[in-house]
Structure 1
Amino acid sequence: MTKILFFLSFQMIVSQNLVKNPSFEDFDKCPWKISMFNKNVDYWSCPNHGSTDFFRACGNTKETKDNYNGEQTPFSGDAYAGIYCYAEDDYREYVQGELHEKLIANETYTIRFYISLAEKSTYSIKNIALLFTGERIGVSTKSASILNSPKGSYQKFGNLSKKFINPETLNTQNDILQNDALIPFYNDTNEWMLVSFIYQAKGYEQFFTIGNFKSNQETDINQEKPEFIHPFAYYYIDAISIEAIKNTYKTDTIYTFQNVLFEFDKAILLDESVEELDELYSYLEHNNLKVEIYGHTDAIGMQTHNEKLSEERAKAVTDYLIKSGLEFNRIQWFGFGSSKPKVENNSEENRGLNRRVEFKFMKL
């Protein structure tokens, strides 16, 4: 099953996906057994000695669905991968991908991929991360790399095993992206869940690895089964994208959020709002500006209630940005209720346009 949570939105120009074979559609042999990811899926590999799985329908079976840890249909195309992100004795599996070109220093990129927890998993976790490196780590693939070239050496990554990869021990430049403190547990076994990051590149990034880079002791876990023999968290992964984004914001211009959503008649942000707010925070993080947040409602209901609700929603957006790291003195919020409609409140469609949250950048 698939649920698209939200899209890139306001004033964002998105370039092409830089990930080679982003949904694992190109491969050598159709997977007739488990552990057929490494050296089989084009431009992908396993960076440690774990045995990542590759799922795709073969032969007369036309739908990729059932597998040994549950069932799921691909988010995109006909294939997906499966990795153990938590298991006994710190066992881990990862997917390592390659970019068409290195990231450009100081450019901002959006990173997105989709995961789904396998039904038989006894735990869910929140420590799914992405690690950028300048070279391929671990064992070789059928694509050229420093490890299977004449000058390559296995000794550089000889400390890797089947256990978790600790980025601090890698003998290569790397940066890790993770949102552990700001997200709930990834525990949906039916729908695909979006994992997203905003990242300012340093210019060396050519490869990336996705998985859990923490030990069992450090991993945040949530028990999903009341009884079990072996503790594990197994995730399907699909549709990986890394795209450059260009912001075209102007100061003293009001913009409307497209996907900042709330529970009905409440000021509680829905999960769908996170990516757009992260984009806004990333822009503020790299620009010397302040921002004002404006909340608005339609004309249904009492005026005093609408004013309070609009102010609380603007404050909820403000609180999220401050929690993300924005300084208090760079943001203000205001609630206008129904006093500043964009259009007349004479239809449900128009009232939907009037229920909105806006923002405006200003110079410090």
Structure 2
Amino acid sequence: MSKHLLIQLKIMKFNLSITLTLLVFIGSHVALSQKRGKKGKSTSSDMLNMTFERLQEDEEVSELGSITLLDNGVFSPTENAADLFQKGAGSVAGIPNNAFGSEESDVDGGKLYAGFVAYRPGRESSLRSYITIPFIKGKNNVSLSKGLKYCVQFKVSLAESSKYACNNIGAYFTKEAPSSKSGIINAPENLIRGKNNRIHQGFFGWDQVCEIYTAKGDEKFITIGNFDKNDNTRWIPVKKPKTAEVETLKHSYYYIDNVTVKQIDSDEDCKCVVNSQSANTEEYSTLIYTKAIHIEESMTTAERVDAQELFFGFGKKDLTPNSKESLKYIAGILKSDPATSIEIHGHSDSQEESLGATKEEFSDMGMVRANYAKRYFLANGIDESRITVKSHRDTEISREIAPSVDDEELKAAKSRRVEFKLN
């Protein structure tokens, strides 16, 4: 090989080495720039994961209106402050029992959650409360990225002190921290509400609020509450469970937990509650209907038993505290009169029936629930010969359904039930 050719090969090798090094540098620089994003912007997928578990150092909840004890700048933007509840905080601000009712945290092992007033009637309509949470990474307040989609989710539970349940519970995104002297925050834009903006009326367990938000690019705060005036808010009266020991107040009061905001690439990445009758999804409604049982002195024993109803979560047979009270009440009647017998009638909703055709775990939920109630009576000494069970599947409409008021999810929740007949 000639000396001239060797020189040319060395030059080519040197140029190739420089080129490869430059490409690696450029690629690393681009990747780093993408990771950092624009100044003040966050490109992390998890923008917020608020479980209300982080208090400021050396702070403990001891009274209502203590939302500002939380770390990371959480506050209430109106004079009527939101509340914070903590295990071991006593009968006023404790968990599970407090001044407004009883509820466990939605977080496994959780010790705190918050609460706010979403509706008051009449002259007290402005006495609402809200919870504002800044988007913080490290010690810096950051904003959402323009044009990106975010999955917004949080859980609410209606407190037993509530005389009303309402809709319009949502999340408002702002550049500046909101405030209002009137007590009602006006949200003309940048507002999301849950699917179908339904009335949240479940006393026990947590109900999901979920929707997708497309960012304008300067949002640094999320505020949660009801941003509509009373004239534009749908509400219904509710009656507290008979097991509740708190006073009924003229408000809609909701506990709140597990607030998350996560950047997503497609709508399918946001696991919102599905209200459609699709059988191709693994996400179902979390709503459990609750009602107060009214017993009058003029009622016969059979009528008192007929007034008892059990309601269930989607695809579930688990008993709520109210359901256990009803079963205990009926068992007492059966024990006091051995000549009586009981019919247990189980029901399901149409989506459960549809899924039951292909998925064993949803098969004939009416019978599953009726048999679960039967097991309770057997365990309490009622002879099996006195118990009859029957499944009606989804063929009978619940007497609780109000066709002109209830949305589809609430109708389904009222359909998932067990009824009784004393003979």
**TM-score (norm. length: structure 2):** 0.48
Segments of structure 1 that go 5 or more residues without pairing to the other structure are: 1-13, 139-159, 169-173, 250-255, 271-294, 301-364
> What SS is found at the alignment partner of 2:125?
helix
- 1:259 has 2:282 as partner: yes
Distance 2:86 2:248 in 1: 28
Query: 2:77: which partner in 1?
Result: 47
The counterpart of 1:192, out of the listed 202, 206, 209, is 206
- 1:245 has 2:264 as partner: yes
2:164 counterpart letter in structure 1: Y
Pick closer, same or farther for the CA change 1:58–1:298 going to 2, 3 Å.
closer
State the 1:39 CA deviation. Answer: 5.5
Q: Is the 8 A contact 1:126 1:220 kept in 2?
A: yes
Q: Is the 8 A contact 1:27 1:41 kept in 2?
A: yes
Distance 1:195 1:248 in 2: 16
The counterpart of 1:93, out of the listed 96, 117, 129, is 129
Q: Which has the larger radius of gyration?
A: 2
2:171 counterpart letter in structure 1: L
Distance 2:84 2:348 in 1: 43
- 1:18 has 2:47 as partner: yes
The counterpart of 1:64, out of the listed 95, 117, 141, is 95
For the aligned residue pairs, the C-alpha RMSD in angstroms reads 3.5
Q: Is the 8 A contact 1:15 1:245 kept in 2?
A: no
| Alignment map for 1:2-41 (pairs within 5 Å) | 16-19=45-48, 22-28=50-56, 29-38=59-68, 40-41=70-71
State the 1:267 CA deviation. Answer: 8.9
Q: Is the 8 A contact 1:93 1:162 kept in 2?
A: no
Pick closer, same or farther for the CA change 1:69–1:248 going to 2, 3 Å.
closer
| Alignment map for 1:1-364 (pairs within 5 Å) | 16-19=45-48, 22-28=50-56, 29-38=59-68, 40-58=70-88, 64-76=95-107, 77-87=110-120, 88-100=124-136, 101-138=142-179, 160-161=180-181, 163-168=183-188, 175-179=190-194, 182-225=196-239, 230-247=249-266, 257-259=280-282, 268-269=350-351, 298=358
Pick closer, same or farther for the CA change 1:219–1:104 going to 2, 3 Å.
same
State the 1:198 CA deviation. Answer: 0.8
Q: Is the 8 A contact 1:116 1:188 kept in 2?
A: yes
* 1:211-243 deviation per Cα after TM superposition (whole angstroms, max 9, x unaligned): 0011222211010039x9752100000110000
State the 1:90 CA deviation. Answer: 2.5
Distance 2:184 2:161 in 1: 21
Pick closer, same or farther for the CA change 1:65–1:266 going to 2, 3 Å.
closer
Distance 1:199 1:57 in 2: 33
Pick closer, same or farther for the CA change 1:233–1:107 going to 2, 3 Å.
same
Distance 2:162 2:154 in 1: 20
Distance 1:35 1:132 in 2: 23
Pick closer, same or farther for the CA change 1:40–1:299 going to 2, 3 Å.
closer
* 1:152-204 deviation per Cα after TM superposition (whole angstroms, max 9, x unaligned): xxxxxxxx225211124xxxxx5111247x24320111110000011111111
Identity %: 24
Q: Is the 8 A contact 1:117 1:189 kept in 2?
A: yes
2:64 counterpart letter in structure 1: I
Pick closer, same or farther for the CA change 1:299–1:242 going to 2, 3 Å.
closer
Distance 1:211 1:58 in 2: 26
Distance 2:359 2:257 in 1: 43
* 1:106-144 deviation per Cα after TM superposition (whole angstroms, max 9, x unaligned): 111100000000011000011101100012123xxxxxx
> What SS is found at the alignment partner of 1:105?
coil
Distance 1:167 1:201 in 2: 15
Pick closer, same or farther for the CA change 1:266–1:89 going to 2, 3 Å.
closer
Distance 2:174 2:78 in 1: 14
Range moving further from structure 2, 25-34 or 78-87: 25-34
State the 1:15 CA deviation. Answer: 6.4
Query: 1:352: which partner in 2?
Result: none
Distance 1:110 1:16 in 2: 10
2:106 counterpart letter in structure 1: F
Pick closer, same or farther for the CA change 1:267–1:114 going to 2, 3 Å.
closer
Q: Which has the higher contact order (CA 8 A, sep 6+)?
A: 1
Q: Is the 8 A contact 2:162 2:248 kept in 1?
A: no
1:49 counterpart letter in structure 2: E
Query: 1:312: which partner in 2?
Result: none
1:234 counterpart letter in structure 2: Y
> What SS is found at the alignment partner of 1:196?
strand
Distance 1:134 1:248 in 2: 24
Pick closer, same or farther for the CA change 1:266–1:115 going to 2, 3 Å.
closer
Q: Is the 8 A contact 2:131 2:224 kept in 1?
A: yes
Distance 1:299 1:216 in 2: 44
